[in-house]
Amino acid sequence: MKEERKLTWEEHLAALTSYLDEKGIDLAYVAEPVDIAYLTGYSSWTEERVFALLVSRTGQALLLAPAINEGEVKQTSWADRACFYQDGENPWEKAKKRMTAWPKGFWALEARAVTLSHYRATKEVFPEANLAADISTWLARQRMIKSPAEIEKLQAAGRLADQALDLAFALLKAGQGMSESELALELDYQLKKKGMGDLSFPLIVQAGESAASISGLPSQKGVQAGDIVIFDLGIMKDGYASDVSRTVALGEISPAKWEIYETVRLAQETAARAARPGMTAGELDQVARGVIEEAGYGQYFTHRLGHGIGMQVHEPVNLEPGSKQKLEAGMCFSIEPGIYLPGVGGIRIEDCGWLGEDGFHPFTKTRKDLLLL
């Protein structure tokens, strides 16, 4: 829970103020913690307590937070723009006293994040306010296009993910006979020792037949010679996520598994080379899907090609069949085709990256030719 070092949030907040003024909206009520972090640089999670950012079209901003967060907030540049409340106090009554000079007739709420009880509590204190507008779509759109500073943070997170994969491969080679769960636990422990314990999502380690179950949790199944093993992991860095998948082999594998691996690699690399602004997300999905279908494994590619990434590991845009969403420069997303054969296993290769005018630039650089351990 800390303020971002690079104040990219100041630009985000200024963009919100400009949007409100342009649309004639007096006030925005932002409630999703990750969106508050995007606009303030301050990250927290307050569970059921009210945690809100209020921003006016005339440039005022107020961070409304529980008193238990006061010490943290006062270490940030929001110390003078924060309002704290004790348990049992009405947070909106306290906020109202700080907002006497604000325009507050027409509000835009983050509808996907404001609960019904919080909506009612707000309306009770501001009965004359029109709470009809929704700021959710605008925020999602803003977060979809990353600034150069955000891309730098994602690149830094990607470098940590590459380091984590190196460690994972070494543990697998040294720990033959360990179960998937044991490998995941040991990897988690070693990452924490190296200061990389803030994971984007729980570690995924799947070997042999269990790798045919997409994104399943590590099991007690032992990893054996001849298994193909999927590692899917991500590390957080300065508030931004990474996500990478590699599939490796423990010893020699059958020619059939080699063929499947090379099909997935070709699909991933072909899609990465093809990605350009202006094509649709569905068209890019079909580039990879077409490679897999041509090889005869189309029915075993059972998920979308990719997802957006940023402050969260899964964000818009979604690279899925039929999507008409236009890809734009500055979007950051994964390219992760896979083939999953029941009773045999699964293979997935994933890189996240950013889309420039000249194409896709991956955040992760770990080799993609099949590694035999």
Domain for residue 372, yes or no? Answer: no
Q: Are 55 and 20 in contact (CB under 8 A)?
A: yes
- One domain for residues 243 and 113: no
Q: What is the separation of C-alpha 130 from the centre of its chain, rounded to a whole number of angstroms? A: 33
Ramachandran region, residue 24 (left: φ > 0; alpha: ψ -120 to 50; beta: rest): left
Q: How far apart are CA 63 and CA 81, in angstroms?
A: 6
- One domain for residues 80 and 219: no
Domain for residue 29, yes or no? Answer: yes
Domain for residue 1, yes or no? Answer: no
Burial class for 5, CB neighbours closer than 10 Å (0-12, 13-18, 19+)? exposed
Q: What is the CATH number of the domain that holds 222?
A: 3.90.230.10
Q: What is the CATH number of the domain that holds 93?
A: 3.40.350.10
Domain for residue 373, yes or no? Answer: no
- One domain for residues 22 and 128: yes
- One domain for residues 334 and 192: yes
Domain termination residue (choose one: 143, 175, 191):
143
Domain termination residue (choose one: 143, 175, 201):
143
- One domain for residues 152 and 130: no
Per-residue pLDDT 10s for the chain (373 aa) are 344 444 689 999 999 999 999 999 999 999 999 999 999 999 998 778 999 999 999 999 999 999 999 999 999 999 999 999 999 999 999 999 999 999 999 999 999 999 999 999 999 999 999 999 999 999 999 999 999 999 999 999 999 999 999 999 999 999 878 999 999 999 999 999 999 999 999 999 999 999 999 867 888 988 999 999 999 999 999 999 999 999 999 999 999 999 999 999 999 999 999 999 999 999 999 999 999 999 999 999 999 999 999 999 999 999 999 999 999 999 999 999 999 999 999 999 999 999 999 999 999 999 999 999 9
- One domain for residues 24 and 166: no
Domain for residue 367, yes or no? Answer: no
Predicted structure pTM score: 0.93
Amino acid 337: pLDDT = 99
Domain for residue 3, yes or no? Answer: no
Domain termination residue (choose one: 143, 177, 211):
143
What does the H/E/C string look like for the chain? Answer: CCCCCCCHHHHHHHHHHHHHHHHCCCEEEECCHHHHHHHHCCCCCCCCCCCEEEEECCCCEEEEEEHHHHHHHCCCCCHHHEEEECCCCCHHHHHHHHCCCCCCCEEEECCCCCCHHHHHHHHHHCCCCEEEEECHHHHHHHHHECCHHHHHHHHHHHHHHHHHHHHHHHHHHHCCCCEHHHHHHHHHHHHHHCCCCCECCCCEEEEHHHHHCCCCCCCCCECCCCCEEEEEECECECCECCCEEEEEECCCCCHHHHHHHHHHHHHHHHHHHHCCCCCEHHHHHHHHHHHHHHCCCHHHCCCCCEEECCCCCCEEEEECCCCCCECCCCEEEEECCEEEECCCEEEECEEEEEEECCEEEECCCCCCCCCEC
Domain for residue 369, yes or no? Answer: no
Amino acid 2: pLDDT = 42
- One domain for residues 74 and 153: no
- One domain for residues 134 and 175: no
Q: How far apart are CA 349 and CA 305, in angstroms?
A: 11
CA-angle at 3, arms to 143 and 235, nearest 5° = 65
- One domain for residues 134 and 152: no
- One domain for residues 133 and 170: no
- One domain for residues 131 and 257: no
Q: How far apart are CA 234 and CA 127, in angstroms?
A: 45
* Domain extent for 320: 148-362
Report the domain count for the chain.
2
Amino acid 175: pLDDT = 80
Q: Which of 271, 235, 240, 290 is nearest to 349 (CA)?
A: 271
- One domain for residues 195 and 300: yes
Amino acid 281: pLDDT = 99
Amino acid 6: pLDDT = 46
Domain for residue 218, yes or no? Answer: yes
Q: How far apart are CA 141 and CA 308, in angstroms?
A: 12
